[in-house]
A = this chain, B = another copy of it.
Amino acid sequence: MDKIAINQDISENATGQRRAKLRDALVTAAEQTITQQGLGSLRARALAEEVGCAVGAIYNVVEDLDDLVLLVNARTLAALERDLIAADRAGEPAEGPNVAIARLVHMALAYLDFAAAHTPRWRTLFEHRMPAGREVPAWYREQQQRLFAYVEELLLELQANESRVRRALLARSLFSAVHGLVVLGLEEKLQAIPLPVLREQVRFVVNAIGRGMVAPEK
């Protein structure tokens, strides 16, 4: 490698680091805007002002604002994953249906608590839609899927005779049911439910689903 190539390498590396730094700053600023004012208030100009760059510079590090929202969502998903793992005491074996049901209840309550504590960021996970014709990128889908994997593992205890594909589908359905309880429970329009009451309802419903899954067919 001659000197010019080395210098170019160092300079490319420095550019890469600057870009990564700007991108992180933009994600943090976007996260803050979403937390304080909601997704609808995200504007390129305000973000550029916040991080002290030109509006055009934003589009050097992300494709567009949708891209930026996905990066914010990725952080939210990572934070949610940490909470779910903590609640599930991951790594311990499920030890039979009753323990598996109890662990599902813990995860569901952790999901509710996360949504209640970080409502705008959590809402943005679902409110944000890609513009027509653009797909959610594969890396994002994989991060979503990872959350379902924890539920799938517990379903092994409750639906051992089902195929992996069907357990994956059930994990998603179980998550969706809990999500529905959380979404409408925190929603003011349908009269918000006080958190302790909502926790009790989530506990009851997840418990019922688990018990119903293992109850002998009549």
Residues of A within 8 A of B (CB): 98, 126, 128-130, 136, 141, 144, 169-170, 172-181, 183-185, 187-191, 193, 197, 201, 204-205, 207-213, 215, 218
Q: Jot down 19 A-B pairs with beta carbons below 8 A, ordered by A.
A: A130-B189, A141-B191, A169-B201, A172-B184, A172-B190, A172-B193, A173-B201, A173-B204, A174-B205, A177-B178, A177-B205, A179-B180, A179-B183, A180-B181, A208-B208, A211-B212, A211-B215, A211-B218, A212-B213
* A95 to B157 Cα, complex, angstroms: 33
* A56 to B: closest C-beta gap in Å: 28
Bound Cα distance A126, B189 (Å): 8
**Cα separation A188 to B175 with both chains bound (whole Å):** 16
* A213 and B207 alpha carbons, distance in the complex (Å): 9
CB distance from A183 to the nearest CB of B (A): 7
Considering only CB atoms, which chain B residue lies closest to A140 in the complex?
Answer: B189
Contact check: which of B141, B176, B179, B189 meets A136 at CB < 8 Å? Answer: B189
Q: List residues of chain B with CB within 8 A of the CB of A172.
A: 184, 190, 193
Cβ-neighbour of A208 out of B187, B204, B209 (below 8 A): B209
Residues of B within 8 A of A187 (CB): 126
CA distance A141 to B191 in the complex (A): 9
